A and B are shown apart, each in its own frame.
Chain A
Amino acid sequence: GAGVSQSPSNKVTEKGKDVELRCDPISGHTALYWYRQRLGQGLEFLIYFQGNSAPDKSGLPSDRFSAERTGESVSTLTIQRTQQEDSAVYLCASSWRLSTYEQYFGPGTRLTVT
């Protein structure tokens, strides 16, 4: 079947606006992860879901960031009042189960805050 998809692929927004990023995991994958990758940097963990529960939100950088997931499908990452330091590629990944299985990554959403 299809891999992990993310939309939009690119988003340019003005500072202070809200943005919503979407992730469609591989069908049947119960675990879903969000990461942030700044230019030339490694992966920064943001949040993961097991089903629609998010037991670990410790990676969210601030209270401007939130995420939700509907059942074991689509997830949205919302950034409110965007700041220039939010500019990065936001990567979503899914896996069959939490932690024990490899993650499959989407192509990412490149967010640019002007």
Chain B
Amino acid sequence: AQKVTQAQTEISVVEKEDVTLDCVYETRDTTYYLFWYKQPPSGELVFLIRRNSFDEQNEISGRYSWNFQKSTSSFNFTITASQVVDSAVYFCALSEYGQNFVFGPGTRLSVLP
């Protein structure tokens, strides 16, 4: 069965610090997809990244980077030089091919000025 674990319930950092949000997943499939979403205080979920199980290359987008490691079933998300606008709840999600998404419980990130 699919499962996503985000062990960090809440994280607080001071602006400009780097922060890593952990995501560990479980799946029996060899073909699957991983996602990160951001839910700012306004409430609307925003898609950040999609990764398929055959692509383990890390990705960087501005201050955001993602580290996908199949060996540890992890898909961690790092924000470099965090900003107050990064304050949000971040969800990791997993989808097996042809199946529904499973979301993790989310990590609430607070970036303090």
Contact = CB atoms under 8 A, between A and B. Distances in A.
Interface of A: 33, 35, 41-43, 45, 48, 56, 89, 91, 93, 98-108
Given A91-B45, A107-B43, A99 B102 contact: no
Contacts of A106: 44
Given A99-B98, A101-B50, A102-B50, 17 more contacts: A42-B91, A42-B103, A42-B106, A45-B101, A45-B102, A45-B103, A48-B100, A56-B100, A93-B45, A98-B99, A99-B95, A99-B97, A99-B99, A100-B95, A103-B47, A103-B101, A105-B46
5 contacts: A35-B103, A45-B101, A99-B98, A100-B52, A107-B44
Centre residue among B35, B95, B104 by max chain A CB count within 10 A: B95
Contacts of B44: 105-108
A110 B65 CA distance: 33
B64 interface: no
A43 B104 CA distance: 8
A99 B97 CA distance: 6
Size band of the interface chain B makes with A: 20 to 34
Contact of A42 (B33, B47, B52, B104): B104
Given A33-B101, A56-B100, A105 B45 contact: yes
Contacts of B50: 101-102
Interface string B31-53: 00101010000011111001010
A49 B5 CA distance: 25
Given A33-B100, A43-B91, A108 B43 contact: yes
Residue in B91, B99, B101 whose Cβ sees the most chain A Cβ within 10 Å: B101
